[in-house]
Structure 1
């Protein structure tokens, strides 16, 4: 009985001691307590995400507008180039009507038509490309410019027997541009490609003159074509984009041979 009371008393005393708070242990717990993390606010996250998304949309929107405008300009330039090609061919056809009886009349009409091509169709091209990086669209307008060079140099040779130089052609284009912007100028490669095509027209002209008995005039044409061929063969290796020129060089040689065989 006595043992039972002692055991019961001991259990109560241990229970009371365990239930009393220990200031020392509480102090250690407070020192080791980790402050709670601050929750990331939705407003700050959403603002950052919204700002980043807006800047991307604005940047790509600008890129899209630039490409759309460039594609629309390219379409207009291609159309202008086609108009120049078609009307320059008409000038060339007019020159081929030349004979020793109507030379001045035919050339007057051809030069008048060429001036109309310059003022009407080349003007459209100049307005589209002046003040811009027009080299980006060179492939779009190069065929028309080459045909224009061919027509202009054809008229010049038939009138004076001399070559129309690049700076002379570009001088006729300067008045078409606004003074405050960079003018469109025909580049050297397009000029040389136009000269290469000129030799084909001169070959046809020479054959026609031979059939009409104008042998001396045909010989003059032949020598002119030889000179162009010789000079172009010397510079072709230095042309970066010379694939078109290499093809035309072969055609030029055929033209020279045809004239020589006819003479």
Structure 2
């Protein structure tokens, strides 16, 4: 009986210990699974963060190169604008030919490098980085077109001239309408300076032509800007544009007034030239 009772105790102890071992084993398996899942999650997060950091560094490097290309476009486009301001009656053809050659060099060297740096990326992500250079290029290209033919270089023509720079396997660089309009706003300031210079050289008709052209641009943009999604950059430029229009109008009007009041008192070789309203001159 004692033996049976002892065996029964051993069996009971064994039976009691088996579920406990099973629970311990299940608990161990569960903790191991959780640990494995935690390690896997941490590893995936680490890989994702590393990949994101690499992409961000790559984007920052590309941004720096794009900014450098944009600055080169800006500097060389300004040189084209300065070249155009040398225009006069005697050297118009020569100056415009040199300006168009310089503008073509801007496209072939600096805009082409910008297109190369932007290859394979979303243009809108880096637009703020290259927008100043594109605006300056628009300003120079439209100024050359106006001085050559008296017309406006539109956005479609400008983008068509840049399409050959892009690899056919990638999306071509296209100047967006906002950068084009911002460039046109800056164009009016250069046309104002050009008009003042032409007035000083006696080309009043050319200055009046510039005045009509600038006034038309201002009128069209006044109707367009309120419909734009991002009109903030245009507010100051619209005010500056209006000032340019008024300066050209005032300069042309002043010349007309002075011309109507002008009475040449000296320089006549005719001794009978009426002086101060006295016929026959003055007897000395």
TM-score (norm: length of structure 2): 0.81
Instruction: Note the C-alpha offset of 1:57.
Output: 1.3
Shift of 1:261: 0.5
Distance 2:146 2:138 in 1: 12
Greater RCO structure (CA 8 Å; 6+ sep): 1
Which residue number corresponds to residue 223 of structure 1? 212
1:64 paired residue among 41, 44, 53:
53
Verify: 1:160 aligned to 2:181, yes or no: no
Task: Report deviation, 1:47.
Answer: 3.7
Aligned mates of 1:193, 1:49 — CA distance in 2: 53
Q: Is 1:213–2:213 an aligned residue pair?
A: no
Q: Would you identify which runs of 4 or more consecutive aligned residues in structure 1 move more than 2 Å?
A: 19-23, 25-34, 41-53
* 1:89 to 2:75 alignment: no
1:38 maps to what in 2? 24
Q: CA deviation at 1:22?
A: 6.0
Cα distance between partner residues in 1 of 2:56 and 2:231: 29
Determine the structure 1 residue equivalent to 2:122.
133
Residue 112 of structure 2 is matched in structure 1 by: 123
Residue 38 of structure 2 is aligned to residue 49 of structure 1: yes
Post-superposition Cα deviations, 1:40-60, rounded to whole Å, max 9, x if no partner, equal 157655543332222111111
Correspondences of 1:176-215 after superposition (within 5 Å)? 176-215=165-204
1:114 aligns with 2:100: no
CA deviation vs aligned residue, 1:174-225 (integer Å, no higher than 9, x gap):
1100011100100000000000000000000000111111000000000000
Query: Structure 2: how far apart are the matches of 1:120 and 1:29?
Result: 92
Tell me how far apart the structure 2 counterparts of residues 190 and 20 of structure 1 sit (CA, whole Å).
Answer: 100
Distance 1:241 1:123 in 2: 27
Q: Which moved more, 1:50-59 or 1:225-234?
A: 50-59
TM norm structure 1: 0.87
Gaps of 5+ in 2: 253-284
Per-residue CA distance 1:113-167 (angstroms, 9 max, x = gap):
0000000000011111133211011111000000000000000000000000001
Distance in 2, matches of 1:217 and 1:178, equals 42
- 5+ unaligned residues in a row in structure 1: which ranges? 1-16
Coordinate RMSD, CA, aligned: 2.4
- The count of corresponding residues between Structure 1 and Structure 2 is 246
Alignment-derived partner of residue 257 in structure 2 = none
> Distance in 1 between the 2:202 and 2:56 partners?
58
Which of structures 1 and 2 has the bigger CA Rg?
1
Q: Helix, strand or coil: the match of 1:38?
A: helix
